Each structure stands twice: as C-alpha cells, then as structure tokens.
Amino acid sequence: MLPVPRPNIEGIRPYKPGRPIEQVVRELGIKGPVIKLASNENPLGPSPRAISALRRVLPELHYYPEDSGHLLRTKLNAVHKVDPVSMILGNGSVDIIMMACLAYLEPGDELVMSDHSFMMARLGAAIANARLLEVPTLEYTHDLEQMLLRITPRTKIVYIDNPINPLGTIVTKDALNEFMAKVPEHVLVIIDEAYSEYITSRDYPKALDYYNQNKNVLVLRTFSKIYGLAGLRIGYGFARPEIIGCLAKVRLPFNASRCAQAAAVAALDDKRHVVRSRQNNEAGKEFLYRELKKLNKVFYLKSYANFVFINFAVDSQEMFEQLQHRGVITRTVKEYNFPNALRVSVGTPAENKRFMKALCEVVR
C-alpha cells in the first residue's frame, strides 16, 4: 500500500520542458553538433561580467546565500526605482507564480487566463485545487474584454503573459490600461514580462506603471531570457509591500542561490550585452520571416519575443522528430492546443541558417 496524495494531484500533468542537448545526443546517438532552439534561451550566452562574478563567488559555495537578496534588490532598485520592500526574488519567475497561487488560491477560488498562455499558471492553479477559467485568445493574443467578463467574486488571480508564450504577440498599452482600470480590486493581476527586454515598441505597456499607480498587480521579470542566466534560475517580482509579504510566507528559504544573485547583479551592469542580444534577436527574426515566406503551407506570427510560432499543414510531431534527427531541437506546442505548430527560438545567425536548411529538407 502506498500513501495517498490529495485527489487533485492525480490529474496533474507535470510541466514538460524543452529537450536538453545532452538527452537528444544520448538517445539518438547523434555524432555532429546539436543546436537547441526549444527553450527561448539567449544564444549569445550570459554576459562576460556575469561569468566573472560567478568565478569570484565559487570559493564561497559552502555558505548559504543571503536570503534577503540585499545586493540584488539594491541593484534592482537602482535600475527600476522600486523600493526593495516591494520586491521578491524567485528560483526563476515561475517560482513566484507558484508562490502567488499558494498564497492566494484555495479550493473553489478561480484563476482567469488565456487558453494559450504559459503553462505554469495553469499548473499553479491545479496544485492549489482552484478553478481554472480559460478564455480563448482573440487574433492570437489575450482577449482582455472577455477575461474581464469571466471575473467573479471567487476570482483571486488573473494571469497575463505579455508577450504571450508560445505566440509571441502582445496586448497594447491602450488595451491593458483599459483592462486595469476596470478589474475589480479583489483580484491580483499577474503580468509576466519575461521577454520585455527584447521589446522596443511604443505600443508595449510597462507593467511597472500599474505598480506605481498602487494597483493590485504582481509584475514578473526573469534573468533567464535576455540576460542568459537560465541555468542559474533567478527571477524577481514587484508588487505592493502587503502582497510581497503574503508571497514571502510561502517562499522557500534560500530560493535564490549565491551564484544566481551574484551573476544577476553583474548582468544588470552589462547594458552592451543586452543591446547585442536584442540586435541579434531582431536580425534573426527578420531572417526567419524572409525564409519562412518562401515555404508553402507555412504560417508564422511576427513575434515581440525571442521565438517564432510556426504553424504547418500537418501534425508537428513528425516535423519535430525529423528536425531532431538532423540535430535541431525545437518545441511542439500541443499542450497549448496547437497540434500542427512548433515554437522555434531565435538562435545565432549560423543556428538560424541551420534550422532553415533542416526545415526545408523536412517540408519539401
């Protein structure tokens, strides 16, 4: 006989990440180089300053990290002009999503989100045994008007990833301003800006503005994308101090490692690396758009993030596997109800060319 878990746990499907290079090489026995365009990582890697900071901290690994994250929160204060008492650090921003679900949701409460949004909010609601109210996207992005209509007195959280993952589209400043003006005060609005550093459009809203207006908002950022620190797991959130206090009660101690904090502080100082990463991303997307236009029966969305959503006329699983056998790892998005689509991260120029060469072989 085994211990019996909570009934709602039985139906939860664990999060399935993009396949790592090591696993693909091990399973398929590929001899040549394998490229990974599956998890929206920065193909340029981390800032050299972050690497130097890691080297400096290595002799201190026998010490626990400073749990308050004082140095990193001080640096974030200098960058964003947010009081450190209104910040929380996470083991990636997904950690903070989970904190919010654990702190605010109980059985019978509701979380409202788009049906094609990032999976972690869906998983957090399931773990908390809350009701998930999914709203169909409209023209491949959040339908904020319908999301507003789905809110009830039992709704505790609305989750908005902007850009939306895996589509790469955004809700505009005007649309989000209108939504935030109407959302009831009993609702915590989580705005996930994991890809915000890639965006230069004037139509893109800055969620920090809603924090400055004293709205009930939790703004999420991460060091996993443009800063290239996905392997260290470090993210952060901004919210009113009362909200941060609630999240802190369910936060695991030492959730931001000594290495992660040191690298993040250094990464924030390297603005040139951020600019180079953004330029590589923009050039890479333009290359992919040009090449994808040449293919028949291929639909893609122009993206504000560092990935491109590509829809095909056939089931994407076979395409995924054929690309993988050619040493190119992409990501199917069937769990987002897109059976014919792949999400492809923007790589280096050489990686983008290799992906398109492999894709042309598969499609034709």
Q: What is the pLDDT of residue 297?
A: 87
Q: What is the pLDDT of residue 31?
A: 79
Distances (CA, A) of 126 to 9, 116, 341: 8, 16, 25
Low-confidence ranges of the chain (pLDDT < 50): none
DSSP 283-322: HHHHHHHHHHTTSTTEEE---SSSEEEEEESS-HHHHHHH
Helix (H) or strand (E) holding 244: helix 241-250
**Cα–Cα distance, 153 to 110 (Å, whole number):** 9
Partners of 341 in the β-ladder: 311
Strands, E, within the chain: which ranges? 35-36, 87-90, 110-114, 131-135, 155-161, 188-192, 217-222, 235-238, 298-300, 307-312, 328-329, 331-333, 338-345
Tokens of 45: 């890697």
pLDDT digits (tens, 9 = 90+) for 73-97: 999 999 999 999 999 999 999 999 9
Give, as one character, the DSSP assignment of residue 11: T
In sign, the C-alpha dihedral spanning 105, 15, 36, 137 is negative
**Cα–Cα distance, 257 to 69 (Å, whole number):** 9
Q: What is the pLDDT of residue 310?
A: 98
CA 225 to chain centre: 8
Query: How many helices and strands in the chain, by DSSP H and E?
Result: 14, 13
**Cα–Cα distance, 130 to 110 (Å, whole number):** 6
DSSP 196-230: GGG---TTS--THHHHHTT-SEEEEEESSSTT--G
Q: What is the pLDDT of residue 142?
A: 98
Asked if the peptide bond before residue 163 counts as cis, ω within 30 degrees of 0, the response is: yes
Cβ-based neighbour number of residue 37 at 10 Å:
25
Please, are residues 300 and 332 in contact by the beta-carbon 8 Å criterion?
no
User: Model pTM?
Assistant: 0.96
**Cα–Cα distance, 351 to 48 (Å, whole number):** 21
Tokens of 55: 């080297």
